[in-house]
Amino acid sequence: MKTIKGPALFLAQFAGDDAPFNSWDAITKWAADCGYKGVQVPSWDGRLIDLATAAESKDYCETFKGQAAENGVEVTELSTHLQGQLVAVHPAYDEAFDGFAAESVRGNPKARQAWAVDQVKQAISASANMGIGAHATFSGALAWPYIYPWPQRPADLVETAFDELAARWRPILDHAEENGVDICYEIHPGEDLHDGVTFEMFLERVDNHARCNMLYDPSHYVLQCLDYLDNIDTYKDRIRMFHVKDAEFNPTGRQGVYSGYQSWVDRAGRFRSLGDGQVDFAAVFSKMAANDFDGWAVVEWECCLKHPEDGAREGAQFVSDHIIRVTERAFDDFADGGTDQAANRKMLGID
């Protein structure tokens, strides 16, 4: 068994124009002061990282990592959640997602997709330059508007969508293989990879690519009424990244999973700060330890009620309290009577 590393913090929800969230130096000092040992970096945020330079320059990456280390934290992973979303966008979402892209490619879906692919490849190269072996992203979605089977879906509609999704990602996965980096898709509503079944559909189409892996986040499974503990055992060989995020699902006679278009505060399913939701993190961390997960426990703070800075500080302590330092020996070793193969055979009555 292996001990999870952490706590770490995903910086996407905290980066901003005000100090201490507006520069790499300041935000890493703040994260360390909150009690974090690592940070996951949103690669799209130019206030924190120059992605193009990081993809080309090991010297830049060493300086980048070195400044974080001086401030008390390690760079755990890079993220391309926004860019990955743009690898596959259904036309219904063109305008909604256009703001994720560089201004030069907005309004041009074909150019935007090419830009997104290049961005993810750059982040993979940058990860390799930093000596980081896992990368976080979204899959994007072509079939999501058809998630509910009404009107009746035409034959092969979903299959065609997943064939295309796999074709778009295959060159990126091959680039990841060349750089020794796992791509960890966050399994998330809104993405075509939103549960175990859809991940398997994609995995089959990329020929079980070794670099095609999962970012496990139990909060997204709570809101889908999916068994988030069984999921760990089912996909333990593909789970290479871990977001520690809480959620609650409180259905009523008026709303359930779909929550009636309500705001986050009024939804039956809501994200919550760690410890304020319904995820059994004692069980989650136990399964992660038993399954030899040795990556980082990364807090992704999202809550419709609590102030983010309070959530961040509480989250660091919450994760620290849940990380299991795995044992190096069995608890009953004190009663070991010592034996050998001959004794074993004798005990079994085998001559």
Predicted TM-score (pTM) of this structure: 0.95
Q: Are 30 and 36 in contact (CB under 8 A)?
A: no
Is 333 a residue whose pLDDT tops 90? no
pLDDT 10s digits, 214-267:
999 999 999 999 999 999 999 999 999 999 999 999 999 999 999 999 999 999
One-letter amino acid identity for 72? G
Tokens of 199: 């991940």
Q: Which residues of 56-73 are buried (b: 16+ CB within 10 A; e: fewer)?
A: eeeebbeebbeebeebeb
Amino acid at the residue 228: Y
Both tokens of 63, joined, read 């300086």
Residues 294-310: tens digit of each pLDDT: 999 999 999 999 999 99
Beta strand 246-249 with 182-186 is: unpaired
Above 80 in pLDDT, residue 330?
A: no
* Cα 146 to Cα 156, 167, 231, 286, distances in angstroms: 12, 20, 24, 36
Beta strands 269-272 and 246-249, pairing class:
antiparallel
Domains of the chain: 5-347 (3.20.20.150)
pLDDT tens digits for 59-87? Answer: 999 999 999 999 999 999 999 999 999 99
Averaged pLDDT score across all residues of the chain: 96
CA-CA distance, 13 to 252, in Å (whole number)? Answer: 30
